[in-house]
Amino acid sequence: MNKLIKISNFRNNNNNNILIINRFFSSKIYTKTGDKGTSALFNGERRKKDDQIFQALGSVDELSSQLGLSKEHLIVLRKEINNEKKELANRVIDEIEQIQCLLLDIGSHIATPSYSEEQFQKRSQFNDFHTTQLENWVDHYTNNHLAPLKNFILPGGGLTSASLHVCRSVCRRSERELITMTNLENEYENNNNNNNNNNNNNNNNNNNEISSPVLRFINRLSDYLFTIARISNKIEGGEESIYRRPSESLSSNNKNNNNSNSSNNNNNNNNNNNDNNKYQRILEKHSTIQD
């Protein structure tokens, strides 16, 4: 029999945030139970490894790994910066670690179908408090440390900042995977409900809708990651890479090389200014391309 290790609950006393990690794990690394292409959910049910639920779990796991890489970049950077920036880096590092713990909780939630026994559902519940906390963090950085957005930001601006933009992209994919999983499960259930020959077990066996608090958290998390990518750029002392339309560069080159085209360039610049005004209005509403 494999030795079992119990990991107790973790409580953050500063904000009463309870990260539920209360499971029994085997100390044996390999179990051989997945050698035939199936894997177990939190409730013990086994599904094929290409099931959409594992696609979603894989993206969330990848996000946590990418966050770990970004965190290590910050830890290295912290050794080279002054006290004020070091304090900011410490704050971001601490927040990333909290988020990694929450992503484990989200993994438990994803791996617990809604028809699971009550004991499993209670352990995998996710609280909306965590989304509110993300919003507070974003507001703090935006109001105290960042200049207003005037252009779309390109991924880059320093190694740590660039790695956090990768995290943001993986987070968006995780959100899409969760939506796809929910839609597939709902479609499966609806098809079964329309078939009078199916029994109740078939109607329930693949119902795995993701709760709204989890979806809200993942959606807000991408905004947070966009924000701390900008913060990391500031910590590194880099310059943000901003979006410029190719026509702007072309117009500038033509103006320098051929004065006879100056009137056309002025028209192009006016058009670009109008476009930039439109972009500014968009940026005031959205920090990233998606809502």
Q: Give the sign of the dihedral formed by CA 37, CA 189, CA 110, CA 137.
A: positive
DSSP 153: B
What's the confidence (pLDDT) of residue 239?
A: 86
Stretch 157-176: mean pLDDT? 96
Q: What is the three-class DSSP state of 55? A: helix
Residue 238 has pLDDT above 90, yes or no: no
Which of 51, 61, 59, 60 has the alpha carbon at shortest distance from 205?
Answer: 51
What's the confidence (pLDDT) of residue 163?
A: 97
What's the confidence (pLDDT) of residue 241?
A: 84
Of 7-21, 81-95, 155-169, the least confident: 7-21
Calpha distance 210→120 (Å, rounded): 15
Which of 73, 61, 163, 37 has the alpha carbon at shortest distance from 111?
Answer: 61
Question: In this prediction, what percent of the chain has a pLDDT beyond 70?
Answer: 62
What's the confidence (pLDDT) of residue 202?
A: 44
Which of 185, 229, 286, 267 has the alpha carbon at shortest distance from 92?
Answer: 229
Q: Give the sign of the dihedral formed by CA 288, CA 95, CA 163, CA 74.
A: positive
Calpha distance 232→268 (Å, rounded): 35
Stretch 252-272: mean pLDDT? 52
- pTM of this prediction? 0.72
Question: In this prediction, what percent of the chain has a pLDDT beyond 90?
Answer: 38
